[in-house]
Structure 1
Amino acid sequence: MAQHPIILGIETSCDETAAAIVSADKRVLAHALWSQVDAHAVYGGVVPEIAARAHVDHLDHLIRQALSQADMQLCDVDAIAATAGPGLIGGVMVGVVTAKAMALGAGKPFIAVNHLEGHALSPRLTADIAFPYLLLLVSGGHCQLLVVKGVGRYHRLGSTIDDAAGEAFDKTAKLLGLGYPGGPAIELAARSGDPKRFSLPRPLTNKPGCNFSFSGLKTAVRRAAEALESEQGGVHDRDLCDLAASTQAAIGDCLINRTKHAIAQYLEDYAPKAPALVVAGGVAANETLRQRLTGLAQDHGLAFYAPPLWLCTDNGAMIAWAGMERFQIGQSDPLDSPARPRWPLDETAPPLYGHGQKGAKA
């Protein structure tokens, strides 16, 4: 093993095709990414079949690009990591099969990475964060509060009982005609809007616990837009900005309220020596949310960490780093490891809203 192990990471779980190479001393040696935003924008959301075909078309040359950027050959890496779930199964299979073939051909270990663990551990790539830390994992498909006790060791404190916060952003943006992806579009429109104009619900914020709910919020936004159509014959630009600002404020209030509850439980149950609040996932790129979480952490005596913006959305570096964390404690996976459409981080926690043959929803 090299003095500083090197891992190649592959990400194909949704609509980003990515490959990256990282070293154990936290250097990103290469990072190649193909965004499929333009291909899906016309549909207002991700089309699984289009996503899977795009991964097939672009993954090989992205891997070659990453190796070239790092001035390496495949034999120079110590292991190959790939997202093995959760995600759109067609895309996940593209990355997993590619990584397995490369691992077999080059005689390298294969590491099956949980996509959520990629997000959960990504802040440790750019900062020294000690376990256990409190994590708000918030993205288009996931909204959870977890205590990260160590690599592969997670305790879920709360999750969404219906939709994720990122999905609420995306569907609100689609409803208002603001474009795709919805999160950045809502954030941009909200900058010139009045967050207090529309009275939108804050589901579950008057209840104990750490669970989230966002489906009622989306319904309320739709009804507000319909009322404007009825009253004034249309939704004007000022209305759109105010609705965007009101939506962002409501989602933020829900996230802050639930995280506040989680902080109390985290401090009581774990009494960490270096308490920290970490946010990760695509919605973690929202600057307003980052500012509010920074203040919340300061109010409770916690350090606050958020990955750089490029590391919040899906990328290969976070998968490579999660693979690195596992590789350094001697873990790897057999080549018959499955691709998994569902794969909760805390597999001991009961499913909140769905369980089938493929397992609990993440």
Structure 2
Amino acid sequence: MVEASDAEYPDDVVDLAARLVRVDSENPPGNERPCAEYVVDWFTEHGVDAELVPTPNTDRPNAVATVGSGDPTLVLNGHTDVVPADDPDEWAHDPFGGEVEDGRLWGRGSTDMKTGLALAMVATLNRERADAEPPGTLVVHAAAGEETGLPGTRTLIEEGYGGDYAVVLEPTELRVATSAKGVVTYRIGVHGESTHASNPDEGTNAIDGARDVMDRIDEYDARLRERSDPLVGQAYANVTAFEAGTGSNMAVVPARAEFLLDRRILPDESIEDVDREVDDLLAAAEREDGVVAERETVQHYASAGIEPNHPLAELVRDGTGDLAPDEPWGMAAATDAREFVADGTPAVVWGPGSLSEAHTVDESIPVAEAERALPILESVVEDVLSGGLDG
């Protein structure tokens, strides 16, 4: 007979990942609290110290757990939020069903990144259960808002839950990433003059102006693609959303159009330089095309990285062995590793699952990969906290 607590708070990594997937924590709108509360309850049920840590000016808490004491401190970092599942009818599997079928765990967040969070939780519990008092301190982050730039991880670091080293458990197919692109999202507003659609020449259609700006963005993107980093690849600029005329009568030429510009940032590029490039683009549109537009920064994730052969990276590569390529590598997506690097803490990104599955319909992860990852992570934890990176 399975005890109720075993069903509700499983200590098997796949069962726990499935249980986490069943907690709807979509962002937006930012519904992380139930998942953060579950993480704290799970640790508490298993006798591990855990608490909620509020994110400033929000009702969206982070969860944190700690095992051990003394130096060094290793942080295992994950986030509780997932991107929206959108229309569940498009899914072959319930996006919040946490179903295990055909050797895969299905559901929103299965890859990005509740399986990684489950790994951190089980590895920490197993360390707590060790017979002897193990050296060092292990900290688990279950941060809010990673998908939209809410400073969940930053809050935990500033509240004293940082460390000497960090492993961010995003999906990398067990490759070790030592660097990641940054990203900035701008909201571009294009001005026009409204008029009745039956007399379009009496106004200025903001959509036409937006076309001119987006043509310039296409040219900008072509130039950016000539810039490249050996680990993370090319820089890009893409329009990812567009809106105009939605708040007025259908027969009105819109006076304003807005769109989002996603600019991927290489490690050797600064946000100041990127801002300047976009400002120059908009100034040229006004000067040469007569289009008046302005930008607003919606969110910014800095690029970040450590030396490809940092001892932490080498340790995780050695532990992973032939399960993944061992050459230096970087991620095309931004991660919360940047928060640790900015704080002077060496951090790598490593975890089961493929980034290509993240944010997709019928997101899933191979359960065998998750199961293989657990002993690797436990070995890394033991080596780091036993002083394996000293000297």
Tell me the TM-score normalized by structure 1. Answer: 0.31
Could you say which structure has the higher helix fraction?
A: 1
* TM, length-normalised to structure 2: 0.29
More strand by share: 2
Larger-gyration structure (1/2): 2
